Structure 1
Amino acid sequence: MSIVYNCRHCGNEIGKLENQIIDTSMLGFDHLSMEEKKEMIQYQSNGDIHVKTICESCEETLGQHPHYHELDFFIQ
């Protein structure tokens, strides 16, 4: 089982926790609403968990261009 973090905007892999049994509450998943969990967390058939987050580059871009928050995807 792996937990893979990908940027929701550019798709780049940010990080990966491999072959570890982790209590998801340690990762803060228990602080998310059901809607946030549906939006951010995808459970794969092989047991992996993919988490959509934001990378530093995209976060910086959003900071410089706040109107991009209105868009689902700002990187084409």
Structure 2
Amino acid sequence: MSIVYKCRHCGHEIGKLNQQVIDTSMLGWNELSTEDKQEMIHYQNNGDVHIQTICENCEESLGSHPQYHELDYFIQ
């Protein structure tokens, strides 16, 4: 089982945890609302978990161009 963190905007893989057992409260998942969990956490058929987050480059772009927050995807 792997937990893969990917940027929701550009698709860049930010990081990957390869563990058989992971305490999700240590990752902060218990702090997320049900809606956020449904939007961000995606379980794969092979047992992997994909987490949608934001990379530093996209976060910087959003900071420089706040109007991008209105868009679902700002990188084409």
TM-score by length of 2: 0.97
What is residue 21 of structure 1 aligned with on the other side? 21
**One-letter amino acid matched to 1:65:** H
Report the CA distance between 1:46 and its aligned residue. 1.0
Structure 1: segments with no counterpart, 5+ residues: none
- What is residue 9 of structure 1 aligned with on the other side? 9
* Paired position in structure 1 for 2:56: 56
Between the aligned residues of both structures, percent identity stands at 72
In structure 2, the residue corresponding to 1:25 is in which secondary structure?
coil
Partner of 1:75: 75
Query: C-alpha displacement at 1:34, in angstroms?
Result: 0.6
Judge which range, 17-26 or 50-59, deviates more: 17-26
Aligned length: 76
TM-score, length-scaled by structure 1: 0.97
**C-alpha RMSD of the superposition:** 0.7
Structure ranking higher in helix proportion: 1
Runs of 4 or more above 4 Å deviation? none
**Deviations along 1:15-56, whole A, 9 cap, x unmatched?**
000134111111000000110000000011111100000000
* Counterpart Cα distance in 1 of 2:57 and 2:69: 14
